[in-house]
Amino acid sequence: MANRGFDYEEAKLEGRAFLVPAGLQAPRFSSDYDVPPLPEGNREGPVGAAVDVRPPAQLLTVVPGSQVVQSSGDPTVSFYALSTSQDVSSDAWAFLMNFLAKYKVTTEQLDRAAGTLETGWFTNTAALDGWGEEDDDFQIRQRYLFSLKADPVRHGINVTAKVVEHEETVDGETRTTLSETEARRYAVRALNQFSLYYDQQIKAREQHKSTEGMGLALGFDNNDLSAWVADAPFDQVWQRMNRMLPRYGFTIKDSQQSLGWIDVEYDDPGKGFWSEIGGEPFKLEEGKYRFQLGEMAGGKTSITLFDEDKKPVKSDVVSQMHITLSQAFAKALAEQSE
């Protein structure tokens, strides 16, 4: 009926009497199978054009061994370790933050102890559909709450997605409410795109195990603080940092390689510099900071940023800076190999 009009909405039950032709007896009627009247509370709901006739969104299990958690209220997928050496919990957290960074979505609130991460805005549908296009007449965006719950017994982790804020603008009119069905559909799409990204990262890791390179990803240091994780040994990262930091407005004041710290003073290099490199200005206040490097398992190195009071810089600033720093690490590597 969705593509044939909605005239049926005007249909009414005709209460014509049951006529018995002359010479025949009226049939006997029973009330055993009478259809009960519809309760008033059930009369509310979409009808006609408002009915969503799209097939229900389904969670994808593209990552080997992953499973849909059927008993969960919100869309949830379980990811399991693919080897005895894989720390699936650390991977899931790191992949999630880098998934957000890929689409330039900030981390608004992060509580690893509680297993929650609240995102900034996903603008339009390209990030979730892979095919969305810019449209001035149709703008849509959401913020999500991702929940990660470790399953140490089965060496896995459950990842749940939930819409916490929605804005949809069509021809200048903005709507901020979602039905339960719509909210679930968007949450499923977000979780599916994360699963695809998770799968890509697992495959890329396998492909690049034996290749040279220095990638920079979002993650955590050995103290569970938000950090950048360089895919290279400590000594290489130390040298890279000392070459790279001055170019991006960090004046090195003091350093101690044996302890892994570099004290700097940050002065924004200005709009001309950011325009030249095609990067986003750091959302970092000018002042004194410390970069703390640390050795990690697997030959990786963590880089944690502290303010003048030796307090870790907020995770949303760390995630925003990653966009430019990851490009800087890659460029430095390319220049070194020339």
What mean pLDDT is predicted for residues 9-36?
81
Question: Locate tokens 């969503």: which residue?
Answer: 52
Residue 135 has pLDDT above 80, yes or no: no
Domain assignment of residue 23, yes or no: no
Of the listed ranges 111-120, 168-177, 185-194, 207-216, the least confidently predicted one is: 207-216
What mean pLDDT is predicted for residues 68-91?
89
| Structure tokens that stand for 249 in this block | 């407005």
DSSP-based three-state secondary structure for 136: coil
- pLDDT higher at 267 or 181: 267
| Structure tokens that stand for 251 in this block | 């004046």
278 and 159 within one domain? no
259 and 200 within one domain? no
Domain assignment of residue 44, yes or no: no
Gap between the Cα atoms of 228 and 325, Å rounded? 9
Q: Look at residues 173, 207, 241 and tell me which one is the last residue of a structural domain.
A: 207
Pairing of strands 287-295, 261-266: antiparallel
Task: Tell me the pLDDT band of 191, cut-offs 50, 70 and 90.
Answer: very high
Gap between the Cα atoms of 305 and 323, Å rounded? 15
Residue 65 has pLDDT above 60, yes or no: yes
Instruction: Return the top range by mean pLDDT from 133-137, 194-198, 201-205, 242-246.
Output: 194-198
Decide if 172 contacts 153 (C-beta within 8 A): no
Instruction: Return the top range by mean pLDDT from 50-54, 298-302, 318-322.
Output: 318-322
142 and 88 within one domain? yes
109 and 242 within one domain? no
Gap between the Cα atoms of 70 and 329, Å rounded? 42
Cβ partners under 8 Å of residue 46, min gap 6: 52
How many independent structural domains does the chain possess?
2
Q: Look at residues 188, 207, 226 and tell me which one is the last residue of a structural domain.
A: 207
- Report pLDDT for 337: 42
Decide if 224 contacts 110 (C-beta within 8 A): no
What mean pLDDT is predicted for residues 174-203?
91
Which residues constitute the domain of residue 333? Answer: 216-337
User: Which burial class, exposed, middle or buried, applies to 77 when counting CB atoms under 10 A from its CB (0-12, 13-18, 19+)?
Assistant: buried
174 and 96 within one domain? yes
Helix axes 234-244, 315-337, angle to 10 degrees: 100
| Structure tokens that stand for 205 in this block | 């890791």
202 and 95 within one domain? yes
CATH code of the domain in which 121 resides = 3.30.530.50
303 and 258 within one domain? yes
DSSP-based three-state secondary structure for 280: coil
250 and 182 within one domain? no
Domain assignment of residue 103, yes or no: yes
* φ/ψ (deg, to 5) at 6: -130, 35
DSSP-based three-state secondary structure for 86: coil
Taking only the tens place, the pLDDT of each residue in 240-293 is 899 889 999 999 999 999 999 999 999 999 999 999 888 889 999 999 999 999
Average pLDDT score over the chain = 86
Q: Among candidates 36, 92, 39, which has minimal Cα distance to 219?
A: 92
Residue 312: count other Cβ atoms within 10 Å of its Cβ. 17
- Report pLDDT for 5: 75
- Report pLDDT for 1: 42
Residue 131 has pLDDT above 60, yes or no: no
Domain assignment of residue 1, yes or no: no
Task: Tell me the pLDDT band of 179, cut-offs 50, 70 and 90.
Answer: confident
- Report pLDDT for 207: 61
Domain assignment of residue 110, yes or no: yes
Torsion of the alpha carbons at 129, 131, 136 and 141, rounded to the nearest 10: 10
Domain assignment of residue 31, yes or no: no
What mean pLDDT is predicted for residues 21-32?
85
121 and 177 within one domain? yes
Q: Please report, rounded to a whole number, the percentage of residues in the chain having pLDDT higher than 70.
A: 87
Domain assignment of residue 231, yes or no: yes
Decide if 142 contacts 121 (C-beta within 8 A): yes
Domain assignment of residue 331, yes or no: yes
103 and 65 within one domain? yes
Residue 211 has pLDDT above 50, yes or no: no
239 and 313 within one domain? yes
Q: Look at residues 185, 207, 229 and tell me which one is the last residue of a structural domain.
A: 207
- Report pLDDT for 61: 93
Q: Among candidates 295, 304, 249, which has minimal Cα distance to 273?
A: 249
200 and 295 within one domain? no
Cβ partners under 8 Å of residue 255, min gap 6: 242, 261, 262, 263
